[in-house]
Amino acid sequence: MVRATAFLIILLASLNVAHAGRVQLSPGEVRGIFIGTPWHSPDGSFLFRDTGTYSYFSFYQNREWGTWPYRMFEDGTLAGGSTHYRFYRDGDKYSVFHARSGRFYPAYPNRTYGQK
């Protein structure tokens, strides 16, 4: 497990270089923008709580998938259930890198949890 986590951190760090137009958010920015307030991706809404848990609501299935623990790495990456989330700013827009899918998705802060 430790090797897998170390590999993932190295992999995520290398992706920073490949996407020079995006600027990774600092841990303070992640806390201020994405923790404690719901945010949306195209497929659903997330709520990362100050208590160290997060929930995901699927818009397509119109249901909450569950609540899981998460932790924040020193670089601001959030490690949750089965993947890691790394947040970026590109101008006035935000995106999130979803490690399990290997893709970037738009991230829209300050939205309503469970509603599109």
pLDDT digits (tens, 9 = 90+) for 8-24: 444 444 444 445 689 99
Count of domains observed in the chain: 1
Question: Is residue 116 included in any domain, yes or no?
Answer: no
Instruction: Indicate whether 71 pLDDT > 60.
Output: yes
**In contact, 12 and 76? CB cutoff 8 Å:** no
Question: Is residue 41 included in any domain, yes or no?
Answer: yes
Global pTM reads: 0.79
What range defines the domain where residue 61 resides? 2-109
Handedness of CA 83, 32, 107, 64 (dihedral sign): positive
Collapse the DSSP code of 113 into the 3-class scheme (helix H, G, I; strand E, B; otherwise coil) and give the result: coil
Question: Is residue 101 included in any domain, yes or no?
Answer: yes
- Mean pLDDT calculated for residue range 91-114: 92
